[in-house]
Amino acid sequence: MGRENTVLLIIWMYFLSLSSSFSTTIAPTVETSAFIGNITTNSTDWMMDFSDIESKFALRTIEEPEEDLCYIAPGQQDTIKECNFNPDTKTFIVIHGWTVTGMYESWVSKLVTALYEREPTANVIVVDWLDRAQQHYPTSAAYTKPVGRDVAKFVNWLQAELEYPWEKLHFLGYSLGAHVAGIAGLLTKNKVSRITGMDPAGPSFEYADAQSTLSPDDAQFVDVLHTNTRGSPDRSIGIQRPVGHVDIYPNGGTFQPGCDLQNTMMMVATSGLRNMDQIVKCSHERSIHLFIDSLVNMKQQSMAYRCSSKETFNKGVCLSCRKNRCNKVGYEVNKVRSRRSSKMYTKTREMMPYKVFHYQVKVHFFSNSKISYTDQPMKISLYGYSGEKENIPYIMPALKTNTTISFLLTTDVDIGELLMVKLLWEKDTILSWPWWNPDTFHIRKLRVKSGETQSRVIFIAKEGEFAYLTRGGEASMFVKDKEAQSSHKNKRLHKLKMHGSSFKNTAIDA
């Protein structure tokens, strides 16, 4: 126990050191101030001056995704051919974030590999701004503006040299790199097709203006994954506010499965403190791996749903695909641009493939006496044509007489069309023995909605009018009500929403 406390103390001290770095306000440097001046003037002379560019642009290959073997240098046309840039296909520009070590992190090569796996003929260019990114955090954060200017100059030059189509350019930025991408998108002569922000950095950017951060104005379409927004505004590692056309908050956006204390302790025990930065960034970096997952697991695309808050989403009431209320997560996101940012939520597993299936379960509880409980442990089992998932744990926040409760249930198993549901109320203390006259609820039916298929199914008690749910007793069993089959209209509506006019790539939601 002493060893565990020591490790916890070290981890806590590391967090404090990061927090103190993050909380420092960015002081305007001479370089930053000059840059702001360039933005506000009408002069475009700075676009053609490549002498002050410090960032490097490496065109990586499918054969060597880990190495920067060839650099395309703005102003040097020969380097375009030397690096075998393909002008007839799309181009991904990958922009890393703040780094403690001053070296590329392992995710860079993984993302490059996944992009080439999905788009073998594409150009994948990695922006190297490591020298500026390894500074004290506030300094590196201030450097996002000159680095964004470097990227804009590079893209403007490349497009002019090759008459390269703007619609083939896709920026992918992580952490501080997401804001670099936004600034670059702001400064390009025309809007690039897409910017994907992977958990854009929060400290010093939460309250910054649109010219200093990623924003919907920076590209034709901006999609954002928020995975580490825990903490007070401007102190959370990832930015909390929406900054895109579509902002997705996996698992609420605050914390990701598999990044808990138990896994942290295991990593420390096996690899020591040298990987402490990876431990801290587990949820932060999950944004990248969710995007990689969408590239390589094409048949297991995660879905996200528009909702007002994570608390409302956890009640299961937001699993609708009407009027662009649902979308794919990652590479195949449908490019729906609305006047307001769409906040969307999804649940995931703790490892790749991350996809889970979402269900809203709605149930009304009756009883002969007035009963009221909080935080009750339940286990729900789902059985379908394609598979089954038993004993899914769920803590019922409130459970009382004559109340309808709706909650979100997820499973990593594709069970297909639902046929049967079991509901078990566990005993949470040794005093909950059945022969001590335990409390019992009566349940007439369950209503279950699938987020992925949009089907609605009513389940009735397997035997009799009611099923009986007893604390610490046997599971209640419910079977599909054949007289209340999900309508053909719902299935047709889902097909229309997923493949019809509402999901055209350039849709505008009025």
Of 150, 199, 223, 247, which one is the catalytic site residue? Answer: 199
How far is 157 from 47, CA to CA, in rounded Å? 8
How far is 13 from 19, CA to CA, in rounded Å? 10
Name every residue whose Cβ is closer than 8 Å to that of residue 250 and which is 6 or more positions away in sequence: 225, 226, 227, 256, 286, 287, 290, 302, 304, 329, 345, 346, 347, 348, 354
From start to end of 339-498, where are the E strands? 342-346, 357-365, 372-384, 388-400, 403-411, 418-425, 440-443, 445-450, 456-461, 467-470, 476-480
User: For the residues of 172-221, what is the DSSP string, one character each?
Assistant: EEETHHHHHHHHHHHHSSS-EEEEEEES-B-TTTTT--GGGS--GGGEEE
How far is 362 from 315, CA to CA, in rounded Å? 9
| Block residue for tokens 């997401």 | 178
Of 170, 226, 245, 284, which one is the catalytic site residue? Answer: 284
For 175, 278, 370, the CA distances from 104, given in Å and listed in that order, are 14, 13, 61
Is 293 labeled as catalytic in the residue annotation? no
The strands making up 169-174's β-sheet, listed across from edge to edge, are: 56-60, 123-128, 91-95, 169-174, 192-198, 219-225, 246-250, 342-346, 303-306, 326-328
Is 499 labeled as catalytic in the residue annotation? no
What the block records as the tokens of 336 is 């729906």
Q: Is 68 annotated as a binding-site member?
A: no
Of 96, 140, 170, 175, which one is the catalytic site residue? Answer: 175
How far is 421 from 414, CA to CA, in rounded Å? 15
Is 55 labeled as catalytic in the residue annotation? no
Annotate 99-123 with three-state secondary structure: CCCCCCCHHHHHHHHHHHHHCCCCE
Binding residues for Ca(2+): 218
Binding residues: 218
Active site residues: 175, 199, 284
